[in-house]
Every structure is written in C-alpha cells, then in structure tokens.
Chain A
C-alpha cells in the first residue's frame, strides 16, 4: 500500500475534489434545464460540436489534432498516467482498450493499444502473454502473418501452455510456408489434445503443401539442368562448326551466350538457333531480303542440311505478291550474303547446304540469324545491289 501511495502525485483530497467538480458540472447542467430560461448555454449553431467534446456525451474518442475537452484529459490521466497506476494496471487498461477496438474491428488501433500495453514492461508473464497473443490476433486479421507469428511465439515464451496462441502460430506458419515450424506446432497441439481436429487437418494440409513445394523445386532444378545441358550441346555444336558472328571480334574464340543467339529480327525473335531432336543438326532462323522490293521473307526453322535450292523452292512455291513479272523463280535468281566486316558480298552456290555456306570464310551470322539477299539473275537490280557502296564494320 505504501508503494502504491508513492506512485501518486494527487492526494486523496485532490482526487475527491476532482470527483466533486465533475458532480458539480453535472448538477449545474441539470439545474440549467429545470430552473432557468435557456441562456448563456452553447450557441445554437455549435451545440452539437460542443456536446461531442464533452466527456459524458462524446461518441468517439478524440482523433489526433482534435481539440480535447479538459475533462477528457483528466479522465485519460486517471487511466493512463504511470503515476496513477501500477505497471500491471496500466498494461491491463491498454489491453481493455485493445479488446474494445478488436470488438469494433479497428485492428490497427488495437495493435497500437496492445503495443502500448507491452511497452509498460510490467512483470506479470501472464499479462504479457495475453498482450502478445491479442496483438497477434490483431495482426492476423489484417494479414500481417509474419508479425502475428512472432507475437504468438512471444506469447508462448511467456506462457508455454497457451493453446490459443499456439494454434494461431501454426496457422501463421502455414500462411508463410514455414512448413517445419507449422508441423512442430501442430504436433505440440496434438500432444496436448490428440483429438484437436483443426490441428490434425492443418498438419495434413501443411504436409501436402510442403511435398508440392519440394517437388516443384526438384522439377525446376531438373528443367534448369536440362536447359543448361541443351545450351552446352548447342554451344559445342556452334564451336565445332567454327561459326562466326559479325558482332564479335574476329580471330578470337567467340563468347557464345543466349543473348548473342537471340534473333534481333522481330519475326524470328522466339526462334533462336537450336539443335534438332537427336542433337545432330542445327536449326536456323533466316531472313531473305529482296532489295528490289525493300522487304524480307523470314524462315523460322531451317535445318542446316537443307540446300539453298530447297529454300528457294519453299520461298517461291507461290509467287511473291509484288512480283508482277514472275521474275523470282528458283532458276531465275541469284542469292548473296554480305560480309559486313569486309564490306563486300558473296554469291551463294545454290546446290550447297546451309551448313556448307555458313562454313565459308566470308560468312558471318548477323543479329542471331542467317541473312541472305535474293535478286533476279543478270538484271539491273542485281548490278545495283552488287555495286552499291558498303563500308566495313569496325569493332574494337
């Protein structure tokens, strides 16, 4: 009692005086109604505002920035002043506030109140356990599962047999996919109550989800390994054929990356060079340009074993829409590729396979694809194409 007394600034006399003052306030209000004509009361245009601020009639607690009625300040002081309460009383007051907010689904306000209660650092472990448990519940309802889990675990620290907190911790661990934590907590619940149906169901659900997650990890690892294996085979095939790329330094071992191989032509973008099913032939994306018409045909998957004549037969199976004179026929065209490093063009022998053509000294893969130019044989168009000005590429 003496310890309690030393926490007060207010004397009993002062507390009684405050209570009497409140009584007088109420009496005065009632007397005003019964005995006098209405005068010197609240202005008619502001009576509601004044009423809302009065501690006896307010419908909501003051929000930050609100003007606070002096009486309300006094009431709060009674409730929250550390000088007026033991730490435990203070903590329990905040717990009541928090529970009030929980009832009204004001979960963030509840978190705030429970936090203030925890900050009191009262020494009663049961009180602390309840504050952490209740804050955990508040976090849970606003789906802060991580905070809810750690609060539930703190509650268990202070009260190891706290079933309500343990069950919430298990649910949070499940949401966070902390499978082993969830399993451990469910098994602890079942140890205490073998017939805890919810814990049994969650234990099973958690196990299934963990198996699924682990399988997906293994599957992803397997697919990743397969992709890497395929890429290594592809790179080996490209190196074995000594493929040259025009955006790489000459006479150096090429640094073959997926980015290097990604076709830069939009219609070929999703069809980078790759190996066929049995890894024996390369399959190439290719562009066939018609200088006369300033347009191109794109072939997404050409096997390196195909001859250029095969390609032309495919291209001209139907006439080009813009070829009015039917000049573009396999027996009436020449095909060239450009050596951009040297700034010159080479004519293709139609009977050669793509692989043979690509192996020629002057051939470079350009923009991740094969690039050819098709012109009518022995025409002005061909002469213009051959003799047009070309500057060699310069690379550091």
Chain B
C-alpha cells in the first residue's frame, strides 16, 4: 500500500516527464488486477493525480491515465467511486464533460479511450440521471460523431458510443431523449444494427432498440409509417433467400429484393435480442396487424429454416417460434388486445419452461 502511495509524488503535472511516464506505467499495470485496482481506488490522492494526467500535454502519459480509468471503472463499485470522487474534489473534475468533449473533438487521439470510460460509467444505472444532466445538450453532437464513420481524424472509431447510448436508454429519460423527433438521434443510430465491421457497434445499437421496444409507450412510435425501427430489427434476420414479387411488395422497402450476398447476424445473443424485440411488439392487436402486413411472418419463416440448419442456436429457435405462434393466429383466436396485462400463475410458468426445453430438444438433430 505504501509503495503505491509513493507513486503519487511522481504523478504531478509539473513533474519530470520520464518520472511521470514510469509512474503511470506502474499504475496502469496495477489496474489490471483486482488487488491493484482496490489499492488505487482507496487512495483519493492517487485518483486525483490520474484525473489530472488524463489531460497531460504528453500523449503517452495522457493515454496511460485514460486507460487506467477504463480499468478502474470496469466494475460497478469502481465506476461509482471514480464518479463520486471526481465530483467531490476541489476543484471538481468534470469527468463526463471531459469525456464528451474529447469524443466530439475530431482531432482527439484518445476519443476511443474516453468513450470506453463513458461506456463504463453509463452502465451503472444509478449514475445515468446525473450523467444525463451533463450529456443532454451534447447528445446531438455525439450522435453525429457516431454516425459519421470517419468523424475522428486520428483513427478513433467511436464504436463505444453505441453501448453508451444503449446504457442511457435503460432509463425513461434516456429513451425519451433518443426518441425525440426534433434531433432525429434514433435515425442516426439505427442503421448500425447491421454494421458488419464492429460487433460492439451492432450490439450497442440493438441494445438501444431492445430498451425502446420493452417500453410499451413507444410501440406506436416504433411502428410508424417510416418503418425505420422495424427495418433495423428485421434486417439482421434477413438472408439471401428469394421471395415472390407479391411477398416482396409487403416487406419494408429496404428489405425488398435483397441480393444473394446478404448474410445474417452472426452473434446468437444479438439474434435473440432482436427476436425478443419482435415478441414485445406483439403485445397489442394494432402492432400485431402491422407486423403481419409488413411480412414479418415471411421473414421469420425463412429465418427459422436457417437457424435450424446453420445458426443452430436453440434459444433463438425458441424465441422465433414464440413470435411466429402469435403472428399465425387470427385475432379472434388470441382474444387479447394486450398481452402485457395477462398474469401467468407461477406453476403454469414453470410448466411452460419445461415444455419449451423439451420441444427445442426435439427440433435439433
């Protein structure tokens, strides 16, 4: 512990460069272990020193400082500790504001590193409201930076903005801000649900969609005349199969006549999330009718064949069939305008789970 404390004196802004660099190298390696992290998190002065060096003129020093923050905020307790301390110190360190500023700066070399820090902080639901207080005015700029793939001129990809937005939409206020039509944030984010080059970007974007779909308030927003959210959900589930002209005309325009080079989402967890989004959208009669009219059943029919033979993920198969079961029923068979208000007795729920498991087992060869 005293050894760690001794490093603080070498981490002052006006310290000799070589000493700063070596000290920071040590700190960074310490944050790679649980014991090291705990030691650093318990030393207020050490954290303050790290805050200061994140903006050091020397890029190597600054980089190690930000990378240390990524490791320190990787778990919830550490994230809370760092966030609260940054507020308390005199003068306070506006860690969220600094992160946002760096991410929006086209010339910032550490934009990716800072987006990882911010991603870690926003993952803690109890911090999201306070973070939104700082971020709200900046969201349009962050969305713009995210949507423009070559935004950063120093090769930062800004992929972690997707998990950041996903984390923000965990809370109602975040969802409200994203869905606000004035800034069209959602329109900028949605296309990346199919972005092949980064699973982080895809995963974060699909997470945003899921958070919005699980809030019934937005179902009418989602299934509007523009189809953008529905397209974002369905596109990763579409493959190269040919549909008849009649079926093609039903589909949203972006999904008509897809070429034979089209591939499906490769990550089964993401496929499952998309299917769960569709299941949520089946809650009301109006939405069910929209989904049928848009050819969702036809897409899932082809998807199911693929999942059984190629994807071979049992949870995805089950999730798909749950949606299809609802869509192929006529409305008078369902007899419910809103599934969400139905209560399932506990013993029946258990029985359903067991039946599901047995059924899936019988599907696979």
Q: What residues of chain A have their CB less than 8 Å away from a CB belonging to chain B?
A: 194, 211-212, 214-215, 218-219, 221-222, 225
Contact = CB atoms under 8 A, between A and B. Distances in A.
Contacts of A222: 242, 257, 259
Contacts of B182: 194
A218 B256 CA distance: 8
Contacts of A215: 253-254, 256-257
Given A211-B253, A215-B256, A218-B259, 17 more contacts: A194-B182, A194-B183, A211-B254, A212-B253, A214-B254, A215-B253, A215-B254, A215-B257, A218-B256, A218-B257, A218-B258, A219-B256, A221-B257, A222-B242, A222-B257, A222-B259, A225-B260
Contacts of A225: 260
Contacts of B242: 222
A194 B185 CA distance: 13
Contacts of B254: 211, 214-215
B183 to A, nearest CB: 8
A308 B253 CA distance: 50
Contacts of B248: 219
A200 to B, nearest CB: 9
Contacts of B259: 218, 221-222
Nearest to A211: B253
Contacts of B256: 215, 218-219
Contacts of B253: 211-212, 215
Interface string B242-262: 100000100001101111100
A245 B254 CA distance: 46
A189 B257 CA distance: 34
Interface string B176-202: 000000110000000000000000000
12 contacts: A211-B254, A214-B254, A215-B253, A215-B254, A218-B256, A218-B258, A218-B259, A219-B248, A219-B257, A222-B242, A222-B259, A225-B260
With most chain B CB atoms within 10 A of its CB, the pick from A212, A214, A218, A219 is A218
Nearest to B147: A187
With most chain B CB atoms within 10 A of its CB, the pick from A211, A214, A222 is A222
Contacts of B260: 225
With most chain B CB atoms within 10 A of its CB, the pick from A214, A215, A221 is A215
A179 to B, nearest CB: 14
A214 to B, nearest CB: 8
Nearest to A223: B257
B282 to A, nearest CB: 26
A221 to B, nearest CB: 7
A173 B256 CA distance: 26
A142 to B, nearest CB: 34
Nearest to B141: A191
Contacts of A214: 254
A17 to B, nearest CB: 63
A211 B191 CA distance: 13
B189 to A, nearest CB: 15
A163 to B, nearest CB: 19
A219 B258 CA distance: 8
Nearest to A194: B182
A82 to B, nearest CB: 44
A365 B345 CA distance: 75
A214 B259 CA distance: 12
Contacts of B257: 215, 218-219, 221-222
Contacts of B258: 218
A225 B248 CA distance: 16
A181 to B, nearest CB: 15
A65 to B, nearest CB: 56
Interface in B65-106: none
A247 to B, nearest CB: 36
A194 B183 CA distance: 8
